[in-house]
Structures are given as structure tokens and as C-alpha cells.
Amino acid sequence: MFDLLVLGGGPAGYLASERAGHAGLSVCCFEMRELGGVCLNEGCIPSKVLLNSAKIYDHALHGEKFGVVARDIVLDHAGVQKRRAKVVRTLAAGVKAKMKANNVTVVKAEAVIRGHERGIFAVEAGGETYEGRRILVATGSSPVVPLIAGLREGLESGWVLLSREVLTLPEAPERLAVIGGGVVGLEMAAYYNTAGSQVTVIEMLDHIAGPTDREISDFLLKEYQAKGVDFRLGAKVVSLGGGRVTYEKEGETVSVPADKVLLSIGRKANAHGIGLEAIGVETNRSGVVTDARGSTNVPNVYAAGDVNGRSMLAHTAYREAEVCVNTMLGKRDTMRYHAIPSVVYTAPEVASVGLTEEEAKAQSVPYECRKLSMRYAGRFVAENDGDGLCKVLMEERRRSIIGVHMIGAYASEIIWGAAEMIETGLRVEEAREIVFPHPTVSEIIRDVMWEF
């Protein structure tokens, strides 16, 4: 008998298991693949390994701008893949060690909820039945695979790839077509463009990077167009086959050749086939329905991470897991979603938190916007050859910060501070009083505050 049964060993599942185990609960975590989930094994971490190698290669290739001249520079894709595998193994071992240190029982098998009786839940995995007083559903998400002619055949043959396969290609394809201009599509387009592939991104919307502030996404678009990435926007893919991706745009049918195709149009919650109906857990089109404390409609059943469809980001999953465990322990805690940062790890990086201008207008929020070139930051100019942008949205009545959007080097490492400003309801005048270290790129945020 366990105090907690956790379905899924990704960011939400393994962190909740660790936290609950540390608090003294007996925990059993079920994961049918590898601990760490999509993020560690086939998403966040391995993609950052590839992108970092691309960044180093690009710096070396253009080192003369900084007085550093190197010759015969190559990007060894096989070497990059070798390092990717090593990094993943190292971090996965770290997760296993933490689970062991917190006395978490790990079962490597697919788990299905079979029912509950007198407050005890039954979960079947690997031919055995496990019982527990609570359940945390953290089964994550899977790539969306739409009904497109030739897509299934392409996936079966290996010509069409999902996010998992594109990270482990032994060679960079000569021509790569990316269906979807969201975060995954853009990051892989960025890497393979640097690795020498001719990359075409086909996106149904008239812009890239999904809900990103439009001015920022347009900036990123121009940056990668200049690097040779071919963007086909407002284009709907209608078929795949014969080494070509065919799409429709403005009434015309066009096809582009591709040696490999990456399908990256979004993800869907893994809320089906895990036995939720056996105990009456409510779901909707997004996933498992939860309240601000991570609770479902069934007492002692919780859900965290992608499976609830709220915010499909690993860092959101971590915080949701903490909220769920605190709720189990009787501690007051709630999940808030208005200040969750998001990042696109391209070069330049894009980082955002809070409302975009488009969202503020749609919600009729009275706001003012100020922005500055990243070149106003001394360290940015000292270390970069190019430009960037930082823009801040302020709510007019209270003068509180409601949105910060950046494109440029180091943006991913700075945005957490902006998230804290929004989370705490900081006013512009209060933000001006914060002492930033000098010289840092982060000073750009303070500089923008003085533009109001």
C-alpha cells in the first residue's frame, strides 16, 4: 500500500515523486519509457545540446568579427549526437539517483487505473496490481498527428519525423521540410540550417512562433530569412509523398522537395487509455480538468503537467507538481498561470512573459508599451554582432508591469526576473529602484522602465 501512485515519470511525475517522498509519503512512480519524460529524453534537453553546438559553430565561423580567426571550421553532426546522448544519460542518472534518495519505488511499465474501493485506488502495471491512497496523473502529451494524405505512410517509412526522431538523425538531411512554425519547428529549423540543411518551414498561420508578441516574431522571422531559411506562411499542407510536401496557399497548390520532413504542429494530452473513466475523472478537449490546487473532480486524484492541457511547458509542470504535493500535505498553495515565461532557443533567443500587445488589445486592457534596442545594453554590444529588442507593457491605471518580451542573446536567462515583476504586481516606479549588476544585458529591462 502506497500513499501516492504517480502515473508518469516526466517533469511533473518525477518531481512530484521526489517532493512527496522527501515529505515522508510512500510513493510508487510508473514510467513505461525512461525517467525524465519527453523533456529530458527527447525534447528540452537534447534539443539544447544541438542548439548550443550550432551556436558554438556559428561563433567560430564568424569569429573574425571579434578578432578571433579560425580556419577549417566544421560542425561534426555525429559528434554533436554523441554528446547529446551523453548529456541525456548523465541527467537521467541524476533523476534516478534522486528518486532512490527519496525512497521512491519506480516501476518501468505502462500503468492503467483499474478502479477504487473504500478510498483505495488500484493501478495495474507489468501484470501486477498496486494500491494507493492517492493518484497523481502526470502522463504528459504526444505530438498531434493530423489526417493528411500520405502522412501515415511517411511516418512508417521514416521519411516523416516527429520531435523524437529529428533529434537523433545520424546525418543532417540535404533538404528538410518543417511542418509547423512553433517552438519545436523553429528550434530544429535553426539547428539544421546551421548544420547545412536547406530548410523550408511551412506554417498555416500568417506568422511564426504561435502566440509570441507579433513584433518579436516578425523580428525572428527576418533573422532566419537572412540565414537562408525559407518560410511558407499561410500555407496548409494537404499531402505528402514522392519526396515532396504539397500545400495550398491563396488558392494555389505548391509542392517542395524534401529528403526528410519534420511534423511539429503541436501536442495533445495523454489522457486516454490510462483508466481515468474507471474512477470517473473529468476530462475535456484539453485534457484532465483540474482546479487551481491540481485537484480533479475525484477526491485524492490530482493531475499535473501536459496532461491537464493548461500550459505545456516543463517548468509549468514542475510548479504544478509542487502545488499538487502541497495540497496532498494539507498546505495552502495554488497554481497561477499569468506569469509563466516561455522561450524559443533560437539564435537570437526569444523570451516572453505576461500579456502580448495582441492579448492586451483583445482583453481590452488599457496599456502603454515602451521598447528599446538591445544595443542599449553595453554588454550586449561588447559580446554580440547584431541587434535585439526588449519591450515592456504597463497597465495604465496602476502602472504595473503586465508583459515583457525580448529577442536577443541571453534573453532566456533574464526573463525569470521579468516573471517575478509580473507575479508580484510590481509597478514601473518600483522596478526602476532595482539595482541591476553592470555590465549585464539584463539592464535593458531597467532602461526600458525609464522610457515610461
User: Which residues are designated catalytic?
Assistant: 438
16: helix, coil or strand? helix
| HEC assignment per residue over 365-425 | CCEEEEEEEHHHCHHHHHHCCCCCEEEEEEECCCCEEEEEEEECCCHHHHHHHHHHHHHCC
Please state, in angstroms and rounded to a whole number, the distance separating the CA atoms of residues 83 and 89. 10
CA-CA-CA-CA torsion sign (190, 195, 196, 197): negative
In this structure, what C-alpha cell is assigned to residue 256?
517542395
Please name the residues in contact with 303: beta carbons below 8 A apart, sequence gap of 6 or more.
Answer: 136, 137, 138, 281, 287, 288, 290, 294, 296, 324
Q: How far apart are the first and last CA of the chain?
A: 59
Respond yes or no on whether the N-terminal peptide bond of residue 348 is cis (omega within 30° of 0).
yes
DSSP E strand stretches across 49-140:
104-107, 111-117, 120-125, 128-132, 135-137
139: helix, coil or strand? coil
Among residues 142, 125, 101, 127, which one has the least CA distance to residue 5? 125
> Does residue 290 contact residue 307 with C-beta atoms inside 8 Å?
no
Please state, in angstroms and rounded to a whole number, the distance separating the CA atoms of residues 29 and 7. 6
Among residues 14, 31, 12, which one has the least CA distance to residue 110? 31
| HEC assignment per residue over 296-357 | CCCCCEEECCHHHCCCCCHHHHHHHHHHHHHHHCCCCCCCCCCCCCEEECCCCCEEEEECCH
